[in-house]
């Protein structure tokens, strides 16, 4: 882009003004020349670019001279990175007709790459001219020294997702400097990196880090949208998590995590915005093009602009049917991958992104764009495969290259270990990758994102300590949050001093975690679940920016033992294809590598029969994973997992092995500590404690093929 081809139009406040270009939306800095500004606003009669100094005092307003189609544009010579700016739009203010052009409202550029401070609602400062409430956009420079560090590119089969909140993970970490606590830089402190490496996770899934604003209702209650699922800009790293420069510090975090082998997955929210419904504030998108950016209900074959479609429960739904909105979302994704170097995305309420005419379409334009895009088609894509709109539950219906959060796995595992009857067939199906949902031959066995706990809901610890939710601190009289938690308190609601209850709770946590990491699919671990993090029974802690949400690093003996157990599970999972890339004869996804077998046994060591599968009182069984002897397998790979979710001890008769081979215990969830490194040799039978899981492997006891000296 060379501005010398254009004539100067005027000079304002010392800046030479040119017509500029409409080719690329947002601020585009051209070194040695200045910055081009372009913004989409089809119904505006005029758009003004407002420039501010570092103290946020307005320098000048520039009426954008160019308009090509629906895009306004101007080039301002001499504007460099660091310049603060915003927009004002003239036009019609008639909300009943969907028009919100109001020159008194300073607007955030939808393509802004930085904000100088967080967006914090202030009703007094919003009234009239909102300039003093609104943060200012920043012209960013793309220069950054990546120091030759490349992306880890973790294979799907090796991926272990670890979901964390940037602030909550280090806010009270004793080994993080005070000025870095709760920040992007806090995540790359030496002790934090060391912890993550010892745990063994591969991919950090960060809860939303795009600029957001807390809901007005929460503000009035003295609460905040701590989780960040209320975006107001899709490009800008949230300033709350930065010491000074959120863009530079975010890039630094990504570079250092990559240096240590960790992927960065972003939880992104493209289904709604912080502007809310009909009476919501004018902050950005609404002031530029409310009628096209959001979806509206139809009455008598016409849009009713007073009724926003609300597939999200947050007041509005973003309209990806509009090509400019689709362009905005996909360019945002491309920016995070290309400029910020992230490795993938988890899409909140992802069904909303694929609605066309408000109906889900698994061949939607959104899916097509991502499929053919040379950058976005190469990253990890994880769907939360539902929203709350009509026909909003779509587990298993996303494109083949997507991963999907599997709530069937969550619910079945919780119910099975709680002792619910009749779940055995479904539990076995979840254990083997939910191939009833993610069809064999079409979807890789790693498609299913398996989880026991997510950010929304009980933590693992609370799952075994509370029968009911306790959300009183949220200010809604405990009406919010899901009531179907499949949880159990084992005798006492909440903390207990009863030794037997606490031992059972710890065992149940080990059962659930072992099931997670021994199951086929992609495991997802909620940060802190490995060390007993509690939210005090709150299963909807989105508005709690306090110790309820922050990870507590003061650990008990039991917490440390649980953390070591999880690290052992992850290491074990990585040790064999059988535990993360099961390839069976009837699954032709990898047609040439069908080398594994699965055998199912009852507690007597006999093959499971139809009647045993459907016996509602049967909560005990064994599954054997076998790798055949060929060039794709290690001949020692043979594992047996014993499940006993009943309330009685069970004697398992182990399958017979050839002479010279024996079963060796790798772990038993009934034990409070891990077995010795060599394991314990087992004979024909094994007594397993009630409500426990045992994992054993085959070992060879004779010397074979010893090389001659």
- Please state, as a whole number, how many other Cβ atoms lie within 10 Å of the Cβ of residue 657: 15
The rounded distance, in Å, linking the Cα atoms of 133 and 137 is: 13
315 φ, ψ (degrees, to nearest 5): 105, -25
3-state secondary structure of 10: strand
Side-chain-side CA neighbours of 141 within 13 Å: the count stands at 13
- Judge whether 53 and 99 are in contact, CB under 8 Å: no
Helix 323-338 to helix 365-372 angle (10° resolution) is 30
The rounded distance, in Å, linking the Cα atoms of 277 and 282 is: 11
| Residue among 384, 387, 488, 529 flagged as catalytic | 384
Distance between alpha carbon 515 and the CA centroid of its chain, in Å? 21
C-alpha angle with apex 566: 561 to 568, nearest 5 degrees?
A: 95
Q: Please give the structure tokens belonging to residue 132.
A: 């003093």
Q: Please give the structure tokens belonging to residue 279.
A: 């009476």
Distance between alpha carbon 578 and the CA centroid of its chain, in Å? 26
The rounded distance, in Å, linking the Cα atoms of 670 and 614 is: 26
Render 187-232 in DSSP notation, one character per residue.
Answer: GGSHHHHHHHHHHT--EEEE---B-B---HHHHHTT---SS--SBS
301 φ, ψ (degrees, to nearest 5): 65, 25
Active-site residue flag, 384? yes
Q: Please give the structure tokens belonging to residue 433.
A: 């990758």
- Judge whether 339 and 292 are in contact, CB under 8 Å: no
- Please state, as a whole number, how many other Cβ atoms lie within 10 Å of the Cβ of residue 703: 7
- Judge whether 520 and 496 are in contact, CB under 8 Å: no
Residues 6+ apart with CB under 8 A from 390: 358, 359
Q: Which residue, chain included where needed, has tokens 């992007």?
A: 184
Residues β-bridged to residue 222: none
Q: Residue 691 to residues 242, 334, 415, 651, 688: CA-CA distances in angstroms?
A: 45, 47, 12, 13, 9
| Residue among 238, 249, 256, 348 flagged as catalytic | 348
- Judge whether 395 and 385 are in contact, CB under 8 Å: yes
Active-site residue flag, 348? yes
Render 420-470 in DSSP notation, one character per residue.
Answer: -TT-HHHHHHHHTT-TTTS-TTTS-TT-EEEES--SSS--HHHHTT-SS--
Residues β-bridged to residue 37: 27, 74
178 φ, ψ (degrees, to nearest 5): -55, -40
Query: Nearest Cα to 283, choosing from 419, 146, 120?
Result: 120
Active site residues: 348, 384
């Amino acid at each position: 882009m060379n501005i010398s081809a254009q004539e100067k139009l005027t000079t304002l406040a010392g800046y030479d003004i040119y017509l500029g270009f409409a080719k690329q939306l947002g601020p585009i800095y051209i070194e040695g020349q200045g910055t081009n500004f372009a913004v989409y606003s089809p119904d505006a009669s005029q758009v003004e670019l407002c420039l501010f100094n570092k103290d946020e005092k307005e320098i000048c307003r520039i009426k954008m001279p160019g308009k090509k189609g629906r895009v306004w544009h101007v080039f301002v010579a001499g504007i460099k990175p660091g310049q603060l700016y915003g927009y004002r739009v003239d036009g019609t203010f008639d909300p009943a007709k969907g028009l919100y052009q109001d020159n008194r409202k300073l607007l955030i550029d939808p393509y802004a790459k930085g904000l100088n401070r967080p967006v914090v609602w202030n009703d007094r400062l919003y009234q009239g001219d909102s300039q003093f409430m609104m943060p200012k956009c920043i012209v960013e420079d793309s220069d950054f020294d990546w120091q030759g560090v490349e992306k880890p590119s973790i294979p799907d089969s090796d991926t272990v997702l670890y979901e964390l909140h940037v602030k909550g993970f280090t806010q009270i970490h004793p080994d993080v400097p005070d000025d870095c606590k709760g920040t992007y830089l806090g995540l790359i402190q030496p002790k934090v990196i060391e912890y993550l490496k010892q745990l063994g996770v591969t991919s950090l899934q960060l809860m939303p880090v795009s600029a957001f604003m807390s809901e007005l209702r929460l503000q009035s209650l003295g609460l905040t949208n701590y989780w960040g699922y209320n975006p107001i800009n899709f490009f800008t790293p949230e300033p709350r998590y930065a010491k000074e420069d959120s863009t530079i510090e975010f890039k630094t975090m990504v570079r250092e995590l990559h240096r240590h082998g960790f992927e960065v997955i972003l939880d992104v929210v493209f289904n709604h915005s912080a502007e809310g419904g009909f009476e919501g504030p004018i902050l950005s998108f609404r002031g530029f093009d409310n009628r096209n950016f959001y979806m509206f209900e139809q009455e008598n074959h016409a849009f009713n602009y007073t009724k926003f479609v609300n597939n999200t429960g947050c007041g509005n739904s973003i309209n990806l049917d509009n090509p400019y909105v689709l362009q905005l979302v996909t360019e945002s994704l491309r920016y995070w991958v290309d400029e910020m170097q992230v490795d993938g995305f988890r899409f909140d309420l992802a069904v909303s992104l694929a609605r066309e005419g408000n109906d889900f379409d698994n061949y939607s334009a959104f899916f097509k764009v991502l499929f053919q895009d040379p950058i976005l088609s190469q990253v990890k894509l994880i769907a939360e495969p539902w929203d709350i709109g009509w026909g909003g539950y779509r587990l298993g219906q996303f494109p083949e290259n997507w991963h999907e959060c599997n709530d069937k796995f969550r619910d079945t595992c919780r119910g099975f270990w709680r002792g619910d009857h009749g779940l055995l067939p479904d539990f076995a199906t979840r254990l083997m990758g939910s191939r009833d949902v993610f069809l064999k031959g079409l979807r890789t066995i790693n498609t299913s994102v398996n989880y026991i706990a997510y950010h929304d809901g009980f933590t693992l610890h609370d799952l075994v300590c509370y029968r009911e939710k306790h959300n009183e601190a949220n200010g809604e009289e405990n009406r919010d949050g899901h009531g179907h938690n499949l949880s159990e308190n084992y005798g006492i609601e909440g903390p207990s001093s009863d030794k037997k209850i606490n031992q059972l709770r710890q065992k149940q946590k080990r059962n659930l975690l072992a099931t997670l990491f021994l199951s086929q699919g992609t495991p997802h671990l909620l940060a802190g679940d490995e060390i007993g993090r509690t939210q005090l029974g709150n299963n909807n802690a989105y508005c709690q920016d306090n110790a309820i949400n922050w990870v507590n690093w003061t650990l008990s003996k039991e917490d440390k033992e649980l953390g070591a157990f999880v690290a052992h599970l992850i290491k074990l999972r990585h040790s064999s294809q059988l535990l993360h890339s099961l390839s069976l004869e009837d699954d032709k996804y990898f047609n040439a590598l069908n080398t594994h077998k699965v055998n199912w046994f009852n507690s007597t060591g006999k093959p499971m029969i139809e009647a045993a599968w459907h016996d509602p009182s049967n909560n005990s069984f064994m599954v054997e994973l076998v790798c055949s002897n060929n060039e794709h397998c290690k001949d020692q790979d043979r594992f047996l997992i014993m499940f006993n979710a009943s309330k009685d001890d069970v004697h398992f008769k182990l399958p017979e092995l050839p002479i010279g081979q024996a079963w060796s215990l790798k772990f038993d969830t009934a034990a409070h500590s891990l077995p010795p490194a060599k394991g314990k040799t087992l004979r024909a039978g094994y007594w397993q404690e009630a409500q426990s899981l045992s994992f054993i492997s085959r070992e060879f006891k004779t010397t074979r093929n010893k090389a001659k000296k």
